[in-house]
Amino acid sequence: MNVADSEVVASVLGEEHYEVTNDESEADLVLINTCSIRDNAEKRIWNRLDALKHNKKINPELKVGVIGCMAERLGGKLAENKLVSLVAGPDSYRKLPGMLTMADKGDPAIDTELSKEETYAGILPKRLEENAFGGFVSISRGCNNFCTYCIVPYTRGRERSRNPEDVMSEVQELINTGHKEITLLGQNVNSYHYKTDEADIDFPDLLKSVSKLDTTVRIRFTTSHPKDISDKLIETIAENDNICNHIHLPVQSGSSRMLKLMNRKYDRDWYMERIQKIHEFIPNCGITTDIFCGFHDETEVDHQQTLSLMKEVGFDWAFMFKYSEREGTYAAKHLKDNVPEETKTKRLQEIIALQQELSIKSNKADIGKKFAVLAEGVSKKSDQELFGRNEQNKVIVFPKGNYNPGDYVQVKVFDCSSATLKGSLVE
Ligand code: 5AD
Ligand code: SF4
């Protein structure tokens, strides 16, 4: 999401003749696009600001700004750091040129106003990664779900769906510039809904239209909320070959009691029913998730339920975290952060160890199977090997042969670790 937002920022500033550099020491302006989801994400930014003091010593003209969720959350507090002369929240990027002029005059420029309408319509993002074969397109902004632990609805504001015409033209632009895989982005893509007098478009409609633009280009999407993943969506994935058979479906916890405290609006049975439906319609679908442990009042029984759900689903991969209390959320006000740090650490270790086993099991089951892999680059270990991903989003390393990054390659898997498959070329 932040990569996509940084591309909007690069486009806005590009109009003002700013150019992007990959060499930090060359920059006159450093904008740090931030995440507030957990405390450690914010700690990294404070460290980054410390490190930039050195750059400022070498280049006294250097301007530093903080943008994104942390800017939204902390506003003026960030500008107390002498290095920071600009603070812009996620809905303020159109105003950046004016803000930079203001910062030039000496006062820090701060804008953290959230908007109910801003979708950056009419701004064609400037792609930051040259030679990339995958690109991101935002389809919605913000979130209305108010999971009790989560800061996102406060930092990114209310949910807004983007005009489908803008989405389609951004996807087309990526296709025209040689991208082979496009990921549609939103905090909750399944609640995408664009309604005018002429049109009434939901996420499966949009996904299908996008996938028809060029059937040789793969389409992915993230993130899906389990409460909103409809039969229509599952069927749309099943029916369209270039929509990847992979669903990232954050479960958060396997305990219905915890899910209620989290305000997730589904329970374990609902989640398991959705998984069954996915298996039924898309037998080879990759399923990945987000899980976090140690939320308010989580007991050993709740934790065991998370482990048992993980086994029952057999996730291919998971992002796993410890609960981090975020100031301003419902949980920070009403649901005490009362699981001791050692317990959180122990539970997270158990979750990670189990996922390791599940990933190995899932990968071993792929040995002997053939996959179409989009080659993304040269393997770190050998320049005679390429790496890429299959539809299920698993990384596969294979011999280079006559192929180049950007090619689709047929690969047969013969070995694996928990993180990677190894394959040979299928002639
Ligand atoms: N603490 C820990 N993890 C969190 N997530 C969201 N908020 C928190 C929090 N306060 C996790 C959820 C979400 C992912 C993006 O981050 O698992 O799906
Ligand atoms: Fe946060 Fe819940 Fe919205 Fe995801 S759905 S961004 S976890 S509030």
Q: Where in the chain is the domain with CATH 2.40.50.140?
A: 370-425
Per the CB < 8 A criterion, the answer to whether 141 and 118 are in contact is yes
Tokens of 143: 């979130």
Task: State which amino acid sits at residue 316.
Answer: D
What separation in Å is there between the alpha carbon of 405 and the centre of ligand 1?
Answer: 33
Q: Which atom of ligand 2 is nearest to the CA of 223?
A: 4
Cα 250–7–100 angle (5° rounding)? 120
3-state secondary structure (DSSP) of residue 425: strand
- Where does ligand 2 bind, in terms of residues with CB under 6 Å? 143, 145-147, 150, 152-153, 187-188, 225
Please state which CATH class domain 2-111 belongs to.
alpha beta
CA distances (Å), 16 to each of 30, 91, 93, 114, 388, in order? 15, 19, 13, 23, 36
Q: Where in the chain is the domain with CATH 3.80.30.20?
A: 134-364
What separation in Å is there between the alpha carbon of 188 and the centre of ligand 2?
Answer: 8
Out of 271, 292, 326, mutate this one to test ligand 1's pocket (max ligand atoms within 8 Å of CB): namely 292
pLDDT by position in tens, the chain (length 427)? 999 999 999 999 999 999 999 888 899 999 999 999 999 999 999 999 999 999 999 999 999 999 999 999 999 999 999 999 999 999 999 999 999 999 999 889 999 999 999 999 999 999 988 778 999 999 999 999 999 999 999 999 999 999 999 999 999 999 999 999 999 999 999 999 999 888 899 999 999 999 999 999 999 999 999 999 999 999 999 999 999 999 999 999 999 999 999 999 999 999 999 999 999 999 999 999 999 999 999 999 999 999 999 999 999 999 999 999 999 999 999 999 999 999 999 999 999 999 999 999 999 999 999 999 999 999 999 999 999 999 999 999 999 999 999 999 999 999 999 999 999 999 7
Q: Which atom of ligand 2 is nearest to the CA of 252?
A: 7
Q: Is the peptide bond before 329 cis (omega within 30 degrees of 0)?
A: no
**Sign of the CA dihedral running 90, 124, 12, 406:** positive
* Nearest listed ligand to the Cα of residue 144: 2
- Domain covering 370-425, topology: OB fold (Dihydrolipoamide Acetyltransferase, E2P) (2.40.50)
**Sign of the CA dihedral running 384, 388, 391, 396:** positive
Largest CA distance in the chain: 65
DSSP type of residue 193: E
DSSP type of residue 329: S
What separation in Å is there between the alpha carbon of 96 and the centre of ligand 2?
Answer: 27
Cα 179–183–188 angle (5° rounding)? 165
Best CATH choice for the domain 134-364 from the list 3.50.50.60, 3.40.50.1820, 3.80.30.20, 3.40.1410.10: 3.80.30.20
- Where does ligand 1 bind, in terms of residues with CB under 6 Å? 37-38, 149-150, 250, 252, 290, 292, 321, 323-324, 326
DSSP type of residue 112: -
Q: Where in the chain is the domain with CATH 3.40.50.12160?
A: 2-111
Cβ neighbours of residue 425 closer than 8 Å, sequence gap 6 or more: 398, 399, 401, 403, 409, 410, 411, 412
